[in-house]
Amino acid sequence: MVYEKLLNEIYAVVSLKFLWKEYQPSFVKSESPDWINETMNLGLEVSQALLPDDGQTKNFIEQYLGCRKEELPPAAFERYGERLNFYNGRFWAVLPDNMTHQDYLFKAKYRFDKKLEKLNTNYQQKRYNGLYLFLHPIEESTMDTKHLFEYMKQQQKECIQHFDWVFLNCRKVIYVFRFLDSTIESIILPPNAESFLITEAEYLRYCGEWQDGTSLDEAAALFGH
């Protein structure tokens, strides 16, 4: 799916807070990277595995996210049709088109390369670096994780700065590439976990202003949750 940027960012750290066994509080909102965790000395960037041609879809979502069905322009239904996804009666996301498994791998590689370049030119420097990618393949079970892991490992081999963790969100499974010891972990979401995480992220996204320096663990109290 393609989601709005800040909602993506909040969903990512909420999922890590509840599901990642290495998590230590707390992530704080930042820019380049999107989150800083001082306890873990970790910077985390969040992105979707998109190609440049997907930019128009992303801009459409930024403009109409949260609108009711009748508020969307007719052209949106002509272009996206049944790919338009609604949650609680409001526009929520654009579902992926009928892409092949290989297309998803290509998108993941493209976005990783772009973020690796940014890491080495435009990031606040932390001891550890993480990248959280929303990939959403057609079938999680068909993910060639070993191929992607080796690709990413080789791509950053000669880089001064590199990603120590890469999280691949495939909806029902989050793959954790841990380059510190060259391991791959699968976090399988429990029943109803995805619905819970979406609800939690949506609430946090819209109940207050997310300025740089806002802590994830303090946000619920600040926003009265």
| Residues 6+ away with beta carbon under 8 Å from 122 | 32
My answer on whether 28 and 83 are in the same domain is no
pLDDT of residue 98: 60
pLDDT of residue 224: 58
pLDDT of residue 93: 79
My answer on whether 113 and 218 are in the same domain is yes
Identify the sign of the CA torsion 11, 14, 19, 23.
positive
My answer on whether 88 and 102 are in the same domain is no
My answer on whether 121 and 68 are in the same domain is no
My answer on whether 12 and 31 are in the same domain is yes
| pTM: predicted TM-score of the whole model, two decimal places | 0.81
My answer on whether 210 and 170 are in the same domain is yes
pLDDT of residue 157: 93
My answer on whether 61 and 143 are in the same domain is no
My answer on whether 189 and 105 are in the same domain is yes
| Mean per-residue pLDDT pooled into runs of 10, the chain (225 residues) | 80 97 95 96 92 72 88 90 84 71 78 95 92 76 86 95 96 94 96 91 85 85 62
| Residues 6+ away with beta carbon under 8 Å from 68 | 89, 90, 91
User: How many domains are there within the chain?
Assistant: 2
Q: At what angle do helices 193-206 and 5-19 cross, to 10 degrees?
A: 130
My answer on whether 203 and 216 are in the same domain is yes
Structural domain boundaries enclosing 87: 56-94
My answer on whether 102 and 170 are in the same domain is yes
My answer on whether 199 and 159 are in the same domain is yes
My answer on whether 105 and 89 are in the same domain is no
